[in-house]
Structure 1
């Protein structure tokens, strides 16, 4: 009566008839029950409310809409299987328990995946049994069950996941909530591909310039069994020789007496520095490791650098060290027939500890043409490797500290003729660039070697958006013809309706793909550069077929980013920095 009175007051007899027509709509029993269960989320008991909610849910999230159907029909079939009274779902407010459970477990608190959908199907019968049982128990004291089954089962399930010994990629809890199953999924895939090693300590190569791996993991000489995860490094010339002249003296070897550096920040745990260098060809089996420094970087994470030159070690036990600090010089002590550096990572602080398989964070591989950037990888035998040598022009251009501002004169975009950006941080200290004219924001991470853009929000027809695409990943050293590849999150580069179709099947299969490629094209003078040009491309693919390609070009000078261009079909954008 109250509902009809309100409807009549708002729209008269016509609105009342429309309301009755919708509620008397002839639908299959199961579908009608689904809409009424959906309406029960807002404590409405009519078909029209359920249909409106279903449409809203579909527009907001295709994954949540799909899960609502899976959750409800799993319960519907289970009721039929056990012979329970399915009419209870349609005349009480308990049907929404199955819908809410499916959305919560399938895509809101858990990253949508095959496993999360499977757990929805497994948990819904449990919710049904809890619902039926609690309905009988609470009926004794005339209390409704409402959403109690949903809360009990979902909270217990999420709590049980906390007891897993190791995290799972196939059934992963949402760490940063984007309030959308699709955004949770695409952000997770972005993080897994791009930042899966971000939480690890960044271990660098412990030397300057370019060295050669003479023995890698599972080496043919000494890196075997529990000591197999280690490297031996030497310096070689263009003829692959380790020494100059006849090589009869220690000083003939290129690596002898070269600086050995701390591979990461930490505290010196152990120092051994009294063992003389061996004459060439001889080894000291009694003091096998030779002069050694062991550094603690984290709990259960140590690095050990061995065969150092006697008297060259510059640190003492307990000293703090920073990444790149000199700790000693390469020598020929211990079991070392010729000068080389032995480097291993281990879980304990003792000399001769069992080795740990742990990657080198970022390094340049010189063995191939062109150069190759390796991230969180393991150098192999005969690889020619170096740390990233920072280029001052690139470092200054991408030194994005809070408060730094950029001003551009723009041609060919919807931006104003003049646009300004400012670097800032949010409440969680995440840095971002903000476009002052549109309010758009591009979030990024700068780890000292590479800058990654991670997220974009706002108008996608701005200079900042195209810069986000163009500089999606940039390393701060210049290596001619070096190419960096990456992938964009689908929701940041595709738009409806293609993205909406992808959303339905995203937990199982992706027919859309986006690709980023950055190329280091030109430098005017490698010794004293004043200008660098970097090119990049952004490509969209549908089932392997190229849909769109955007070409970018950036010119960098001593003043920073000077020009920026984007070209694709009808898009011709050019910006000049006026700072």
Structure 2
């Protein structure tokens, strides 16, 4: 049996530290170090916990599981809890070490099973493996005649004397005198109990770690505990029982998980975390009475039952756009999750992950939108009808409009709105004469495309025999399907377009936003919409991609670049940048000198930066602010508006205050605007000129950049920040 660890000690220590942090839904190394220290307030408990982690990591390596998952501590944090429990309840000895191996392995294998089961439903397995393993050990204990209970746990002063001598004992007694028999004392004891440390110092250290890691998590830990504490009093329960049952950690973990981890922190997540506490109190009391029959502690069972139940309820909601919103990608802390979510201009449509675009080329008009006056009612209220109008006469036809060929949209190409598979085609219905509708063959010539299991697009009223695709054919976005016609219930040529949940022609229309389009209102003003619902009477068009812009941001994994930074003193610094892709298929740039990472999405229509991790002094931070969002459009005199993540705009003192206020609202503002300057060259542009501006509260300018993108793919920015020198940034692909 050969266990190999990549980068040996580095890999092991990362996996060990993150196992501790995972218990509190964190990956902070600093917080993990505090938790590691806390576990060693009782040396034997600490040793058992650390040993259990190593056993679980070794098993994961033996089975050659994914290293990224191992390093996150997902295979080992339950074994850690089992190890801490064994060290707390049983006295040191070889027999207990044998028990430790069995318990750690049991928790590991249950973890593997539950990962497979719960992953199908997108649910976390939490600490269920720990519960099963520790209950099995506790039920088996009476049969182990050579294993004794850990009596030192009953006399903590002796333990503290061994660790720190008389000064530590005096200090611990001082803490007891200050906090014992108070609500805060019970709060600290409950925090410490999560790591099987039943003393106030452990709780204080964990509270400090929580505060450093996340102000939101710290706040929710207080809310969860003190709401439960009040509810105990309200029901006439003895609040002091929390001191010796230590079940308060169920309320703390529940509030942290619901309020700030699995849900984006918000007013709604705050209300749900408060609402769940009374439920958790009742479940805790009831399960405690039940498990007392077996002389077992319920440990974290109430937290697991209630949390998994409510998360499943949230996941099967029909409308995922309404708050509270689930956190799909976890960042370093819940504040970052909230700030990145808030920066999404189209966050109300975040749950609509498939990109569906307009099914035509050029500019078309919407003559009937959602809940239209004629036929878009009831089952078909979420459909669109598109036509083409003359911009000057505002008419949809040439001449008198008595024949279908007079209509501008008749015979124009209809294209696939996204990649998919053709599942239905009707191609033989005659086109109607003007003013006549074929109500017997309502939809006329139609193509239905399957995009995923529950998402189909339907394009109807096409021209007879114009459809070029067949059932079973895979199509790509932008591929011509047929031509706009006047078949079916269509008195005038137009294109009917809807999304639906099944392949059947005639299925109800489904509410679904379209992506990446230009909308022009009646005054001629144009706006870019990243994701939204185009409205009736507006002119809409897909993005006509600019080759110049597209090529400048077309990067492949392994491509290398140089960023040249020049300040006003003409001092020049060079930085090497590499384009990479991670195991989650996320594209990012990394600065070799500073280690900063910039995550982005290029969908061939737009370049979007989704996250930045690293120092604000890195050149990637300047690139991030300058080109946060770029649309590859040929149109000039266009303005792109978007939100900008506020945690990258304000200093730490202001941001910390905002961190605490996140569940009540985000009051700091960040607005990003990119302006496309008018080009004198209509064709074969040699360069594109843009300028970007970031403003904060009260429209205060926080950053601006004059940007030039050349045909040779070089990007130059002249950047200004308040009270700072002007910066010249030049981006170029590294020469071989």
Q: Shorter chain as normaliser: what TM range?
A: 0.7 to 0.9
2:186 equivalent to 1:33: yes
Root mean square deviation, CA, Å: 3.4
Match of 2:564 in 1: 409
SS at match of 1:242: coil
Cα–Cα, structure 1 residues 159 and 377, in superposed 2: closer, same or farther, change >3 Å? closer
Tell me which of 669, 672, 687 is aligned to 1:531.
Answer: 687
Match of 2:125 in 1: none
The C-alpha deviation readout for 1:251-289, integer Å capped at 9, x for no partner, is 444333332222322333343334454555555555554
Match of 1:477 in 2: 633
- The offset of 1:224, in angstroms, is 4.6
Match of 2:550 in 1: 395
Tell me the TM-score normalized by structure 1: 0.87
Match of 1:70 in 2: 223
2:649 equivalent to 1:493: yes
Structure 2: state its 5+ residue gaps. 1-151
1:134-145, aligned counterparts within 5 Å?
A: 143-144=296-297
Match of 1:343 in 2: 497
Distance in 1 of aligned mates of 2:495 and 2:296: 74
- The offset of 1:439, in angstroms, is 0.8
After superposing the two structures, state which structure 1 stretch, 309-318 or 524-533, moved more: 309-318
Match of 1:454 in 2: 610
Distance in 1 of aligned mates of 2:276 and 2:350: 33
1:87-102, aligned counterparts within 5 Å?
A: 87-91=240-244, 93-102=246-255
Distance in 2 of aligned mates of 1:63 and 1:137: 34
2:201 equivalent to 1:51: no
Distance in 2 of aligned mates of 1:245 and 1:127: 73
Cα–Cα, structure 1 residues 146 and 311, in superposed 2: closer, same or farther, change >3 Å? closer
Counterpart contact for 1:211–1:236, Cα < 8 Å: no
- The offset of 1:373, in angstroms, is 1.2
After superposing the two structures, state which structure 1 stretch, 69-78 or 384-393, moved more: 69-78
Match of 1:186 in 2: 339
1:299-378, aligned counterparts within 5 Å?
A: 299-367=453-521, 368-378=523-533
Tell me which of 350, 370, 384 is aligned to 1:230.
Answer: 384
Counterpart contact for 1:370–1:480, Cα < 8 Å: no
1:286-297, aligned counterparts within 5 Å?
A: 287=441, 289-297=443-451
- The offset of 1:5, in angstroms, is 6.8
SS at match of 1:549: strand
Counterpart contact for 2:349–2:532, Cα < 8 Å: no
2:357 equivalent to 1:201: no
- The offset of 1:475, in angstroms, is 1.1
Match of 1:273 in 2: 427
- The offset of 1:157, in angstroms, is 4.3
Distance in 2 of aligned mates of 1:161 and 1:566: 44
2:380 equivalent to 1:380: no
After superposing the two structures, state which structure 1 stretch, 504-513 or 53-62, moved more: 53-62
Task: Name the structure where strand makes up a greater proportion of residues.
Answer: 1
Tell me the TM-score normalized by structure 2: 0.70
Cα–Cα, structure 1 residues 197 and 344, in superposed 2: closer, same or farther, change >3 Å? same
2:616 equivalent to 1:463: no
Counterpart contact for 2:457–2:499, Cα < 8 Å: yes
Counterpart contact for 1:233–1:341, Cα < 8 Å: yes
The C-alpha deviation readout for 1:549-573, integer Å capped at 9, x for no partner, is 2001221111113311210221411
- The offset of 1:130, in angstroms, is 4.8
Distance in 2 of aligned mates of 1:257 and 1:68: 63
Counterpart contact for 1:308–1:330, Cα < 8 Å: yes
Which protein, 1 or 2, shows the higher relative CO under an 8 Å CA cutoff with sep ≥ 6? 1
Match of 2:665 in 1: 509
SS at match of 1:464: helix
Distance in 1 of aligned mates of 2:498 and 2:451: 13
- The offset of 1:3, in angstroms, is 6.5
SS at match of 1:186: helix
SS at match of 2:512: coil
Counterpart contact for 1:419–1:435, Cα < 8 Å: yes
Cα–Cα, structure 1 residues 44 and 419, in superposed 2: closer, same or farther, change >3 Å? same
Match of 2:22 in 1: none
Cα–Cα, structure 1 residues 323 and 164, in superposed 2: closer, same or farther, change >3 Å? closer
The C-alpha deviation readout for 1:139-177, integer Å capped at 9, x for no partner, is 666655544444444445445555655547433443333
- The offset of 1:323, in angstroms, is 1.9
SS at match of 1:478: coil
Counterpart contact for 1:264–1:324, Cα < 8 Å: yes
Counterpart contact for 2:499–2:509, Cα < 8 Å: yes
SS at match of 2:677: strand
2:595 equivalent to 1:430: no
2:697 equivalent to 1:559: no
Task: Name the structure where helix makes up a greater proportion of residues.
Answer: 2
SS at match of 1:396: helix
1:126-137, aligned counterparts within 5 Å?
A: 126-132=279-285
- The offset of 1:179, in angstroms, is 5.5
